[in-house]
């Protein structure tokens, strides 16, 4: 199914990965939001569970392995073109996770990948939903998810 002008929503999977007090971010290499820092993730493959897909996407985009902590949010992202037609429609499932192993290396369709403190995130141009999900994910760090 095409990502642009889809015939149905695309399921996107992502994770807020924590390592100590830093969050793993990727710079998107492809539309939508190319060039913007975002949570790592990507599309769910047919026959793949949400958790399998998140683990696969994290390995492909960043080279890290994680411990999944729980569901943080489900976000609807619908972008329309100038004529009002649906250009992109993603249903995004975001989990909280804790880094388990691996050195961060940008891969797959990520232009860059790095760890950021919460203070450093304030200096990045981020989608407002990304900031909200990061803040919500913090409750999982102390077992309060």
Q: Write down the pLDDT at residue 144.
A: 63
Domains located in the chain, CATH noted: 10-140 (3.90.79.10)
Residue 141 CB partners (closer than 8 Å, separation 6+): 18, 69, 96, 98
The reported pTM is 0.90
Q: What SS3 class is residue 51?
A: helix
| Rounded-to-integer distance, Cα 1 and Cα 59, Å | 23
- pLDDT for 60 beyond 90: yes
Q: pLDDT digit string (tens) for 116-140?
A: 999 999 888 888 899 999 999 999 9
């Amino acid at each position: 199914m095409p990502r642009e002008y889809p015939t149905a929503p695309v399921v996107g999977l992502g994770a807020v990965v924590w390592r100590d007090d830093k969050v793993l971010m990727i710079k998107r290499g492809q539309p939508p939001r190319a060039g913007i820092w975002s949570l790592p993730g990507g599309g769910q493959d047919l026959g793949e569970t949400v958790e399998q897909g998140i683990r696969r996407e994290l390995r492909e985009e960043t080279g890290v392995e994680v411990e999944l902590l729980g569901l943080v949010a489900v976000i609807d992202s619908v972008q329309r073109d100038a004529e009002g037609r649906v250009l992109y429609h993603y249903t995004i499932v975001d989990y909280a996770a804790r880094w388990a192993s691996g050195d961060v290396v940008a891969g797959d369709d990520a232009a860059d990948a790095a760890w950021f403190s919460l203070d450093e995130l304030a200096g990045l141009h981020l989608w407002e939903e990304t900031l909200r999900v990061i803040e919500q994910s913090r409750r999982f760090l102390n077992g309060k998810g």
